[in-house]
Amino acid sequence: MNKKIKFNIKKVSKPKVCFKADGGFTLLELLVAMSIIIIMSAITVANIKVGNNRQALLRSTQKFAFDIRKVQNLALSPKKYGTNPVCFYGIKIESSTSYFLYYDDRSNCNTGVTRFSGQSTKIEPQPVFLESGIEFADTVNKEVTFVPPEPISYFFGNANNFPQNIVLRITQNITDTRTVTINKFGNIEIQ
């Protein structure tokens, strides 16, 4: 029983060297993905800033309209600040970013003067400032007064100069505005 054993010898090939592992990323793929993330982040941050500015504009406009209504309501009330009856209450735009509320209680209210003067007194000692980045579009001749008891509305001392628009805007984007409209009956609208 002699059996011959045969051996088959196969030539073994060298393993192939592969620089890319299965499931990995190349440097180029990583750079493209990071670039997309950076661009999307920049767009998001820019939109957040624009949204924040618009919200600040809306808040400032509403606060300004509220303060006009506050002055108007004071003219309807019997409240006295000094010894004399109050002749009129008003709101005056002091600069492109601030305004103040005032009253005038001079001894003679029949002078016909319905504007801020040296005899007028500020209701609050400090002016009211608009939020950062918000301004009035035009500050020339912007003063609204209300004469009790009706209250009759005056715009810079003139009762026939209505309706009036006071425009607030974002400083960096002057086309993005809100308007406070006051008519001669004292109705206040925000647009």
The confidence band for 105, taking pLDDT boundaries of 50, 70 and 90, is confident
CATH number at residue 33: 3.55.40.10
Can you give the residue range of the structural domain that contains 170?
A: 28-190
Arithmetic mean of pLDDT, 86-93: 88
pLDDT, tens only, 127-154: 999 999 999 998 776 888 888 877 778 8
171-179 long-range contacts (CB < 8 A, ≥24 apart) are 171/133, 171/134, 171/135, 172/53, 172/133, 173/50, 173/53, 174/137, 176/53, 176/54, 176/57, 177/57, 177/137, 178/57, 178/58, 178/61
User: What is the pLDDT, as a whole number, of residue 15?
Assistant: 64
Whether 18 is covered by a domain: the verdict is no
Whether 7 is covered by a domain: the verdict is no
User: What is the pLDDT, as a whole number, of residue 149?
Assistant: 79
pLDDT, tens only, 26-59: 889 889 999 999 999 988 887 787 788 899 999 9
What is this structure's pTM?
0.74
Whether 69 is covered by a domain: the verdict is yes
Whether 14 is covered by a domain: the verdict is no
Whether 179 is covered by a domain: the verdict is yes
Whether 3 is covered by a domain: the verdict is no
User: What is the pLDDT, as a whole number, of residue 2?
Assistant: 65
pLDDT at 24 over 70: yes
Whether 177 is covered by a domain: the verdict is yes
Total number of domains in the chain: 1
pLDDT, tens only, 153-172: 888 777 777 788 899 999 88
Whether 114 is covered by a domain: the verdict is yes
